[in-house]
Amino acid sequence: MTPKAIDVHVHIHDARARALRGSEARAGIEAQARYFRKEAADVSLDEQAEDYRRRDMLAVLVNSTDVTITGLPAVPNDFVAEAVREHPDVFLGMGAIDPWQGEPARREVGRIKELGLHGIGELNPARQHFYPNDPRFYPIWAAAEEAQLPVLFHSGYAAAGSGRPGGGGVKLKYCQPMHLDDVAADFPDLTIISAHPSWPWTAESLAIARHKPNFFVDLSGWSPKYFPAELVQQVNSVIPHKALFGSDAPSMPLERWLRDFDALDLKPEVRQKIMLENALTIFGRHIDVA
């Protein structure tokens, strides 16, 4: 049955997953929660599933790893796959890779598909310290393109490390969206999702979305109340088919994102595209629609 909406950017805050990352990772989680002005509370996957089920929505669980840079363990992709198997009516899932791992990362792309996951991400260049258009990483994007797995990249400002000494080692330069333009051009059959409004480079992500058919933007991580005016204007006119509902829940409370999105001055047909139709072009083959 067709859902009412698809949230393409949902994080796992389950206590079991957080325990797998260790106490040092917990400190980073707490700092990020302060950025969002909320507590770093654990939220079970069962709770998340029930929340989306009650709303008749689907949630795409994202996963990430920066083990090469930080040494911190990641949540295994198998954990995400198990969550999808336990709640197939509401969860789709994406798997994490560390681009610096080279050939093992390329092979993990195939394993992500074998696990029954539906994409790769969230890749976070600011935390992972890599430029997506570095040719060293092209074998990974080629593998994702061949596997027909969309890839989701963090773009713009990062909540991670915000306000910490040295930004916690997070380097914003890697998340300038224009680095993704090369990838979109060189891999035209690879679906790329640029996460967040991409501030302070919002115009870049909007231009790429307008120029490259395989490039989409998700609207996660910000309350829609604070979306840059050019973002609202562009998705409401020239690129209504390229914007995706993404909340960043539970870091960004889902209820708040939805309430503030409802208050935006958007055409009804554009609102429907953002909340559902555009995501169906990416994930629809994995969903039973009626």
The per-residue pLDDT string of the chain (290 residues; one tens digit each, 9 = 90 and over) reads 789 999 999 999 999 988 876 655 555 555 555 555 666 678 999 999 999 999 999 999 999 999 999 999 999 999 999 999 999 999 999 999 999 999 999 999 999 999 999 999 999 999 999 999 999 999 999 999 999 999 999 999 999 888 899 999 999 999 999 999 999 999 999 999 999 999 999 999 999 999 999 999 999 999 999 999 999 999 999 999 999 999 999 999 999 999 999 999 999 999 999 999 999 999 998 887 55
The pLDDT of residue 288? 72
Q: Residue 131, SS3?
A: coil
Q: Which domain holds residue 20?
A: 5-286
Q: Residue 192, SS3?
A: strand
β partners of residue 153? 123, 194
The pLDDT of residue 287? 82
- Check if the beta carbon of residue 75 is closer than 8 Å to that of residue 17: yes
What is the C-alpha separation between 143 and 238, in angstroms, rounded? 31
The structure's pTM equals 0.93
CA nearest 155: which of 199, 191, 95, 97?
199
The pLDDT of residue 134? 98
Contacts of 115 (CB under 8 A, 6+ apart): 77, 78, 80, 81, 95
* CATH number of the domain bearing residue 165: 3.20.20.140
Domain count, the chain: 1
The pLDDT of residue 289? 58
What is the C-alpha separation between 219 and 195, in angstroms, rounded? 7
Contacts of 73 (CB under 8 A, 6+ apart): 20, 21, 22, 25, 67
What is the C-alpha separation between 233 and 213, in angstroms, rounded? 19
Instruction: Please report, as a single letter, which amino acid is at residue 270.
Output: V
